[in-house]
Structure 1
Amino acid sequence: MIRQFELVERVHSYDPDADEDMLNRAYVYGLKKHGTQLRASGDPYFSHPVEVAGILAEMRLDTSSIVTGLLHDTLEDTDATREELARLFGEEIAKLVDGVTKLSRLEVQSETTKEAENLRKLVLAMSTDIRVLLVKLADRLHNMRTLQHIKEPARRRRIARETMDLYAPLASRIGMERVKRELEELAFAELNPDGRASVQARLGYLREKGEQIVPQIEAELTRTLKDGGLDAQVSGREKTPYSIWRKMQQKNVSFEQLADIMAFRIIVADTAQCYQALGLLHGRYQMLPQRFKDYISVPKPNGYRSLHTGVIGPHGQRIEIQIRTAEMAEQAERGVAAHWIYKQGGPSTDAPQYAWLRSLMDILDKAPDAAEFLEHTKLEMFQDQVFCFTPKGKLISLPRGATPIDFAYAVHSQVGDTCVGAKINGRMLPLRTQLQNGDQIEIVTSKAQTPSPTWERFVVTGKAKAAIRRFIRVRQREQYLQLGRSLLDKTFHEEGYEVTDKGLEGVKANFKQASVDDLIANVGAGLTGSREVLTAVYPGLKQPRKQGGADIVPISRARSKAGKAREAAKKDNGQRQIALTGLIPGMAVHFARCCHPLPGDRIVGIITTGKGVTIHTIDCATLESFSDTPERWIDVGWDSVSDSGGGAYTGRLKITVSNQPGSLSSLSTVIARHEGNISNLRIVNRSMDFFDMVIDVEVADVKHLADITAALRATPAINAVERARN
């Protein structure tokens, strides 16, 4: 364990103005508070905070950070309070310690929830002071160094997995490559010891076989640069076992096929010499295609700058070369800690390299619970980057596989919500197009646009997913409220009552709902029956009779026979009809895929648990399966906008086409001429003479589909047409 005077001397070695008195007081306070507590290794518990402080001193951080490291577990594991820390060490220290403290006192349902809640608090804390993250990384690094002392294998693997998925990417995001590499190696050793041992064995074999290769390559690279007039420092190193393993997995290649197991670093005096060195090396050695990356002109989001290239170098070896200045090298290894300026006010989290942190704050704003926040955060943190530009030249970094929707949300949430199209390098392309490095994106917006649920299928950033899901939840709730109110109005009206908020307020607790709106939305979602609410409000009301196991409810019922449906409609002319246009499919109201109802069809609604209402045509065979649950049936109709064909609906046709040249062309021409649009086509049977196919056609209403059907029947190449059912 680092002794008190040793820690003070370490800090004074790089910061002569450090507050020695505060360091001493924090050391003594932490030692006293942790007292006789022991770690899993049997060492005094206080050895952990001291080692964390030592790691922070290696990062050359300020006094407040070192003191926070000494005290970071006092709130969680001792009787210390935040007020006491503020009184003894100041509000700044108390705030930092509280930000690092885990939420172990919370009652949580699972380890995943606990992990998510801890991350949520960490993001909130480090959004105002990045030192919280630095202390947390030092804490995790020491815990990983002593992981072997934990006896339970499952717990060790959970900690290692959390480190690999969250803390190593977080270290990378602030440019602390040295910390990131060590975290990855320690986690890799726990998660895949066999894989690590295999890579190490092969690296050992290479060392024995080519013991002199690295010094020889270093000498030749140095000579090449010196001949060109450059005085440079050249050093070579092996890549870590985990980075080698990850490349083998990503590229699906064997160890022997990797081209960059050895990496050489060239340090020069200034930026101009970086490009001069690159020119000398490319002039001397054959460059490997697609291996050149200029992170000086376009730095990584964490501020990393360097030139990367791959060449077939001395002795025919494939090698990776990194060219940078000493300042860039320091930044690459130590990240945000390399230019610590807290004595002058500290680095601001508004800087460009913290855009990712602002994205996490947006996700935190939009995620409904900790588990979804954790999912979106992992998406945001743990992906390779592509770099794209706005029309004004602003650089936007996104995960690989990102689309224009991701780009729009990265620019601003409002731009994402109102996106209707995108120009990529001057060409209008689909919103699901994957972006490439260097693309220039212009987003086309419209005030009338809202996020589409289908976007969630192809966006990859956590920020975009969180925003789309939030919009869907809000719109879904609106739909559930509208439907729930309609169902309650109908059920109460049939018994001669009127539904009131006062009546619902009195029974909301019976259904474990916090508000009247929550109760109504639950009815709309099919999770609570409207009849249950009625009997709760009026307990003296007689229950419906039973017959054959099914409730006999005194309401009009739609049935799968057209006659019964007409009867039901006549018996309840006063029912409020549901407006079907303008709804988002798949939310509170959606159309059945078995019968594809169209405006003009006679329809009926079926309440589906968790989805709201599914709309079927009255002759749909699927309705027979609901005959024993009449309480789930609801009479619906098309509003005046729907009847006028104000939207695009899918009608399905079964068509038999002659197997001859031009048949499909004739079919598509007829449909297009009648303003229909083929959205899907599937051949279900083919023979020498005929093709049987099923076609989905976008139409305005049932009359529109009938016109297209009639035109198809008059086409010589088409033998039979009928509307597909079920």
Structure 2
Amino acid sequence: MSEKVLNGTEGLDLVKEIEKILGFRIKRREREKIIAAYEFAFTHHRSQFRDSGEPFIIHPVAVSKILAELRADLATIIAGLLHDIVEDCEVSIDEVREKFGNDVANIVNGVTKISNLNLTQKLDKKEAKFKMKVETIRKMLFAMSDDPRVIIVKLADRLHNMRTIQHLKDDTKRKEKANETLKIYAPIAHRIGIHKIKWELEDISFKTLYPEQYRELKLMMNRKLQERQSIMDEYRRIVTSELRKYRINFRIEGRVKHLYSIWTKMTRKNKAFDEIYDLIALRIITESDVDCYKILGIVHSLWAPIPGRIKDYIATPKSNGYRSLHTTLVTHNGEPLEIQIRSETMHREAEYGVAAHWLYKEGISSMRKNPWFEKLRKDEALISSFEDLSALSKMLSGGDEIYVFTPKGDFIHLPKGATSIDFAYAIHTEIGHHFAGAKVNDRIVPIDYELKAGDRVEIIVNKASEGPSLDWLKYAKSSSTRAKIRRFFKNKTNAEFMERGRDICKKLCKRLGKSVDEFLESDTMERVLKKFNINSEKDLFFKLGEGSITTSELLKTIQPEEEESKLPEVSRVKIKPGKGKEVLIGGQTGIDVYFAKCCNPVPGDDIVAIISKRGISIHNAKCKNVRNVPLEKQLSAEWSLSLNDMYRVKVIVDFDASDRSVISKVIDKFKVKGAKVIKYTVESGKWGYDFMDANILVKDLGHLTSIMESLRSIKGVQRVIRVGGAI
């Protein structure tokens, strides 16, 4: 950028550079808008400098040029110039909207929201794995799902920052930025098909995180290119000579594998550099789909193709829209040679992804049709259900894929190793929930059958089914399938908590001589909401049901102590005085009781007292042994407000039998969460799963709920249930 531009007098030089990149002259009105945006950005960034010591305006100018290389529309290029203006310069989004229009303001606003997210945390020293806040990633996905231009500007912003990352003096911050780029932004660039940006982001991140490995690999790659130059030229001449015989328009270029891609292949497959055979390939670019297939036939007549190494991504594009033909041949030198064949349109799409639609003048509406953006908009609820980093990372990175066909001939992309359950959920969530079996290529297959590329799959649906089984998690390979199954059970559990809480509230209101509606509409309800810091009756029911608000706590809030004597008597028998302080029987404390071992109630459970020959037993109100007890032998019971004891419960943990380390992890988790283990046994189960039967001491229902949720987060644990309880 010239000194004339940097002094802020005008942005004409920038316009000329953008025109040079675009290859055509911009209309006068658009030139004026770019100049106005430049001058606005320069004025507000005037006193700011980058880590390199250069004026800050260098950065938004560079971002606008990257966007021009992507052939972005005018609004996006202007948004690139202004993308830091709201975050760094105290300029309101309304001012941007007034000066530059809705489109620019909406893009800048979306980029600002993403920039404000704290996407990374410190590295976990024990596991050395990259951590990030799941909630912030969800927000980022939502921000970009409505307008793809938001993430394209953010990718351009990140690319320029990575190109200048050497100026960041703090080594820890450099590595955090590189980690964030490698784990979040590069996978997103891949997902929307902008490989031109993806490859550069990956290689710069690789260089920053692993400088020694980067230098060593680059040196080996340069040597390999020198060694292979003459032989690749020979292959190019042979192919060119043969294709000219058929009068097909084409051009041939070399494709060199990027360093990070080579390194990941070496580490993932434990291979040496000399064992990677697709370092260099030929790429043939032609005019039409038909010509692509003609060229495929011609090169196969030159050299024999390797079986299983022919991939038709034209008939079945990748999930990010990538289209091309790939084939690997054995040449006359007896070595493998990869050739990619694509049309000019496919080539632009492979380089620019969704941004290629700008090249075709199809605009934002066509960009939104990208399969991944459509999935984001349709599955916002699904994104919200991801509760761990690994599931979100898999969704971002995609990984190896296969395609399978529906009975109507449509194809569905699934992760490698996917089963028919994954296919069912990919068609529709409700079809997945009512899955009853599957036919693959007209034959019924077992639930653990791994689908293969090209399989034709038909799902058998049971409309009467109440929903999925937790066992399905053992067979689901797709992170989205697992998230949908877990979300079903979470919603089911939440509904059960709501129902239980409503029942508790109904019984309490009956004691007070009111209907539930009267209570909810009374001034007392306002006091309850304020006391427990909740917003609605639904929150109250839920917290009552899960036990985080106990019945006695609610009663004390509704009925002040001086009025408690007015509560109706519910005791209908002579009660023996004793030392028990855990529960109130008919509003009285100090009564001898014992806790039923069939259900092991804990504070927070809705309870009932049962009169028996042995004395008064306290049961969980939902205990199956209570159902047939006559009403005259039942007494109302509530937990006392002052409880310091621990209570015995029994939980069963199902886990993968192949990983016995889960046992010690479960025991450790009990200790960390403050539960005392009385005893436990481990027994062999079916379908490759064992189960632990554990008796533990807990404080109350909230404590137990927290422990069980913590156990469910352990890798290898498939199910955690409470015996005699509803959690």
The whole-number CA distance in structure 1 between the counterparts of 2:244 and 2:117 is: 62
Q: 2:528 aligns with which of 491, 507, 514?
A: 507
Distance of aligned partners of 1:559 and 1:340 in 2 relative to their CA distance in 1, 3 Å threshold: closer
> Does 1:271 pair with 2:292?
no
* Identity among equivalent pairs (%): 34
Distance of aligned partners of 1:575 and 1:283 in 2 relative to their CA distance in 1, 3 Å threshold: closer
Q: 1:16 aligns with which of 20, 25, 50?
A: 25
| SS of equivalent residue, structure 1 residue 308 | strand
Compute the RMSD of aligned alpha carbons: 4.3
Q: 2:94 aligns with which of 51, 75, 83?
A: 83
The whole-number CA distance in structure 1 between the counterparts of 2:249 and 2:695 is: 85
Compute the TM-score of the two structures, normalised by the length of structure 1: 0.72
The whole-number CA distance in structure 2 between the counterparts of 1:114 and 1:420 is: 37
The whole-number CA distance in structure 1 between the counterparts of 2:121 and 2:203 is: 27
2:67 — aligned with what? 56
Amino acid at match of 1:16: R
The whole-number CA distance in structure 2 between the counterparts of 1:495 and 1:448 is: 41
Whether the 8 Å contact between 2:41 and 2:82 is mirrored in structure 1 is yes
- Further displaced range: 253-262 or 456-465: 456-465
1:477 — aligned with what? 494
Whether the 8 Å contact between 2:148 and 2:364 is mirrored in structure 1 is no
The whole-number CA distance in structure 2 between the counterparts of 1:306 and 1:580 is: 66
> Does 1:378 pair with 2:385?
no
Residue 66 (structure 1) shift:
1.0
> Does 1:426 pair with 2:426?
no
> Does 1:558 pair with 2:575?
no
1:676 — aligned with what? none
Residue 309 (structure 1) shift:
0.8
Distance of aligned partners of 1:559 and 1:12 in 2 relative to their CA distance in 1, 3 Å threshold: closer
Whether the 8 Å contact between 1:103 and 1:114 is mirrored in structure 2 is no
1:133 — aligned with what? 151
The whole-number CA distance in structure 1 between the counterparts of 2:514 and 2:578 is: 23
1:402 — aligned with what? 418
Whether the 8 Å contact between 2:579 and 2:591 is mirrored in structure 1 is no
1:7 — aligned with what? 14
Q: 2:373 aligns with which of 347, 352, 357?
A: 357
Whether the 8 Å contact between 1:423 and 1:443 is mirrored in structure 2 is yes
Which whole-Å deviations, capped at 9, do the CAs of 1:571-608 have from their partners, x for residues lacking one? 57999545699xxxxxxxx985499xxxxxxxxxxxx9
2:645 — aligned with what? none
1:33 — aligned with what? 44
Residue 149 (structure 1) shift:
1.8
2:81 — aligned with what? 70
| SS of equivalent residue, structure 2 residue 314 | coil
Whether the 8 Å contact between 2:546 and 2:701 is mirrored in structure 1 is no
| SS of equivalent residue, structure 1 residue 148 | helix
> Does 1:459 pair with 2:476?
yes
The whole-number CA distance in structure 2 between the counterparts of 1:245 and 1:113 is: 22
Q: Count the aligned residue pairs.
A: 598
Residue 453 (structure 1) shift:
3.5
The whole-number CA distance in structure 2 between the counterparts of 1:533 and 1:310 is: 72
The whole-number CA distance in structure 1 between the counterparts of 2:557 and 2:436 is: 47
2:464 — aligned with what? 448
Whether the 8 Å contact between 1:237 and 1:262 is mirrored in structure 2 is yes
The whole-number CA distance in structure 1 between the counterparts of 2:330 and 2:322 is: 25
> Does 1:218 pair with 2:227?
no
The whole-number CA distance in structure 2 between the counterparts of 1:248 and 1:507 is: 61
> Does 1:336 pair with 2:354?
yes
Which whole-Å deviations, capped at 9, do the CAs of 1:261-287 have from their partners, x for residues lacking one? 111112334333322322232233232
Whether the 8 Å contact between 1:484 and 1:523 is mirrored in structure 2 is yes
* Structure 1: 5+ residue stretches without partners: 582-589, 596-607, 617-621, 635-726
Amino acid at match of 1:285: W
The whole-number CA distance in structure 2 between the counterparts of 1:438 and 1:448 is: 31
| SS of equivalent residue, structure 2 residue 318 | coil
Residue 428 (structure 1) shift:
2.5
Whether the 8 Å contact between 1:508 and 1:514 is mirrored in structure 2 is yes
The whole-number CA distance in structure 2 between the counterparts of 1:180 and 1:355 is: 18
Distance of aligned partners of 1:579 and 1:49 in 2 relative to their CA distance in 1, 3 Å threshold: farther
The whole-number CA distance in structure 1 between the counterparts of 2:207 and 2:459 is: 45
The whole-number CA distance in structure 1 between the counterparts of 2:457 and 2:530 is: 52
Distance of aligned partners of 1:313 and 1:528 in 2 relative to their CA distance in 1, 3 Å threshold: same
Whether the 8 Å contact between 1:556 and 1:568 is mirrored in structure 2 is no
Q: Equivalent residues in 2 for 1:307-706 (5 A)?
A: 307-340=325-358, 345-349=363-367, 351=369, 354-368=370-384, 372=387, 376-382=391-397, 383-449=399-465, 450-484=467-501, 506-540=527-561, 554=591, 556-560=593-597, 567=612, 571=616, 577-578=622-623, 592-593=651-652
Distance of aligned partners of 1:273 and 1:70 in 2 relative to their CA distance in 1, 3 Å threshold: same
The whole-number CA distance in structure 1 between the counterparts of 2:109 and 2:379 is: 22
Distance of aligned partners of 1:480 and 1:256 in 2 relative to their CA distance in 1, 3 Å threshold: same
Distance of aligned partners of 1:509 and 1:460 in 2 relative to their CA distance in 1, 3 Å threshold: farther
The whole-number CA distance in structure 2 between the counterparts of 1:316 and 1:568 is: 90
Whether the 8 Å contact between 1:261 and 1:319 is mirrored in structure 2 is no
Which whole-Å deviations, capped at 9, do the CAs of 1:132-156 have from their partners, x for residues lacking one? 2221211111111112222223322
The whole-number CA distance in structure 2 between the counterparts of 1:259 and 1:109 is: 36
* Structure 2: 5+ residue stretches without partners: 6-10, 123-129, 566-576, 584-588, 600-608, 627-648, 655-669, 681-692, 705-727
1:145 — aligned with what? 163
Amino acid at match of 2:154: K
Whether the 8 Å contact between 1:363 and 1:467 is mirrored in structure 2 is no
2:711 — aligned with what? none
Which whole-Å deviations, capped at 9, do the CAs of 1:219-276 have from their partners, x for residues lacking one? 2333344466656433324311111112223333222222211111123343333223
Whether the 8 Å contact between 2:610 and 2:616 is mirrored in structure 1 is no
2:319 — aligned with what? 301
| SS of equivalent residue, structure 1 residue 324 | strand
The whole-number CA distance in structure 2 between the counterparts of 1:461 and 1:361 is: 19
Residue 208 (structure 1) shift:
4.7
The whole-number CA distance in structure 1 between the counterparts of 2:277 and 2:251 is: 23
Whether the 8 Å contact between 2:182 and 2:202 is mirrored in structure 1 is yes
Q: 1:99 aligns with which of 105, 110, 131?
A: 110
Whether the 8 Å contact between 1:123 and 1:361 is mirrored in structure 2 is no
1:716 — aligned with what? none
The whole-number CA distance in structure 1 between the counterparts of 2:459 and 2:367 is: 27
Whether the 8 Å contact between 1:423 and 1:442 is mirrored in structure 2 is yes
Residue 30 (structure 1) shift:
0.5
Amino acid at match of 2:612: E
Residue 209 (structure 1) shift:
4.1
Residue 387 (structure 1) shift:
1.0
Amino acid at match of 1:514: N
Residue 437 (structure 1) shift:
1.2
Compute the TM-score of the two structures, normalised by the length of structure 2: 0.72
The whole-number CA distance in structure 1 between the counterparts of 2:536 and 2:408 is: 48
The whole-number CA distance in structure 2 between the counterparts of 1:521 and 1:30 is: 50
Distance of aligned partners of 1:267 and 1:69 in 2 relative to their CA distance in 1, 3 Å threshold: same
The whole-number CA distance in structure 1 between the counterparts of 2:197 and 2:389 is: 22
Whether the 8 Å contact between 1:128 and 1:349 is mirrored in structure 2 is no
Whether the 8 Å contact between 2:252 and 2:282 is mirrored in structure 1 is yes
Whether the 8 Å contact between 2:403 and 2:411 is mirrored in structure 1 is yes
The whole-number CA distance in structure 1 between the counterparts of 2:157 and 2:24 is: 22
Whether the 8 Å contact between 1:120 and 1:373 is mirrored in structure 2 is no
